[in-house]
């Protein structure tokens, strides 16, 4: 088989393995919907200010939870699963097989991206059915591009963080510990309309806020443009490139001593 055929077969294998673990698959799908329901229930009837006017919080939380779905699938899950596989010796054994190393990583990343796209579709459909959120037509290409750029960037960052995770026991703590605080200052769980200056600057440094805002623009009912937030997408892409360079330089196939 060609290397490309092996890579595509690895994608199929990763997908089959995922769905054969029903508990993991169930909670992967349910978690973003759970956050969407809880946050809308707690803040039912509240509004938030967006560029151009005031809108329902549902128009904020649907794209925010879509962004969270991508981050969980492409950053947190990739970082934890690859780290655990490395420490269990799986990556080392794979290197001794005819399967190219890049094909294995390709399978992991593409599978995570496909799961992220599925979650985004579920979240958007759930918001449209239960919270009357209008699915944008004019800005949908911008939303799709934002999701694609975010998935690629956070997959690269997930591979990069693997290089600093010392063992499988630390994988969950480091993966979640490096992303959860950033989520709270990046317009994902909470809409920060007037944060302290230092907090706003800190949020602007990381890619999560830019990703969330790029997704939210598509669902802003007052936005009259095409929805492409090129500055935000540029920051996300730069972080993804940095993550890719770190992963290429420091990624290890063998367990750390």
Each residue of 187-246: pLDDT tens digit? 899 888 788 899 989 999 999 999 999 999 988 888 878 889 999 999 999 999 999 999
Tokens of 189: 């769980």
Report which DSSP code applies to 49.
Answer: E
**256 within some domain:** no
Could you report the per-residue pLDDT of 131-149, keeping only the tens digit for each? 888 888 889 999 999 999 9
Domain count, the chain: 1
CA Rg, the chain, in Å?
Answer: 19
Cα 22 off chain centre by: 21
Q: pTM (2 decimals)?
A: 0.91
The answer to whether 114 touches 107, Cβ cutoff 8 Å, is: no
**257 within some domain:** no
The answer to whether 215 touches 147, Cβ cutoff 8 Å, is: yes
**77 within some domain:** yes
**255 within some domain:** no
* Residue whose pair of structure tokens reads 């940095």 in the numeric block: 242
Q: For the packed helices 207-218 and 197-205, what is the interaxial angle rounded to 10 degrees?
A: 90
pLDDT(173) > 90: yes
pLDDT(256) > 80: no
Mean pLDDT of all residues in 26-54 = 83
Tokens of 97: 């097989």
**245 within some domain:** yes
Structure confidence at residue 69 as a pLDDT band (50, 70, 90): very high
**140 within some domain:** yes
**16 within some domain:** yes
Q: Domain limits at 80?
A: 3-250
Q: How many CB atoms lie within 10 A of CB 29?
A: 16
* Residue whose pair of structure tokens reads 């935000």 in the numeric block: 232
> Closest by alpha carbon to 49, among 218, 228, 230, 220?
220
**156 within some domain:** yes
Q: How many CB atoms lie within 10 A of CB 222?
A: 11
């Amino acid at each position: 088989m060609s290397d490309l055929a092996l890579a595509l077969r690895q994608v199929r294998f990763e997908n089959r393995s995922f769905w054969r673990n029903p508990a993991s698959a169930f909670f992967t799908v349910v978690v973003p919907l759970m956050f969407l329901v809880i946050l809308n229930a707690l803040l039912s009837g509240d509004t938030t200010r967006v560029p151009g006017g005031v809108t329902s919080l549902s128009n904020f939380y649907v794209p925010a939870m879509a962004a969270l779905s991508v981050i969980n699938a492409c950053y947190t899950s990739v970082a934890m699963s690859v780290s655990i596989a490395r420490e269990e010796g799986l990556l080392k054994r794979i290197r001794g097989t005819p399967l190219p190393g890049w094909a294995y990583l390709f399978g992991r990343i593409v599978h995570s991206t496909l799961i992220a796209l599925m979650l985004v579709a579920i979240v958007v459909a759930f918001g449209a059915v239960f919270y009357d959120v209008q699915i944008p037509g004019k800005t949908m290409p911008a939303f799709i591009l934002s999701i694609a750029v975010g998935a690629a960037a956070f997959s690269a960052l997930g591979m990069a963080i693997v290089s600093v995770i010392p063992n499988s026991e630390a994988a969950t703590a480091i993966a979640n510990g490096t992303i959860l605080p950033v989520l709270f200052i990046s317009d994902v769980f909470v809409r920060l309309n007037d944060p302290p200056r230092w907090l706003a600057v800190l949020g602007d440094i990381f890619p999560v806020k830019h990703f969330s805002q790029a997704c939210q623009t598509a669902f802003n009912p007052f936005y009259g443009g095409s929805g492409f937030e090129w500055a935000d997408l540029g920051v996300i892409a730069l972080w993804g490139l940095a993550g890719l360079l770190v992963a290429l330089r420091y990624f290890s196939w063998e367990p750390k001593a």
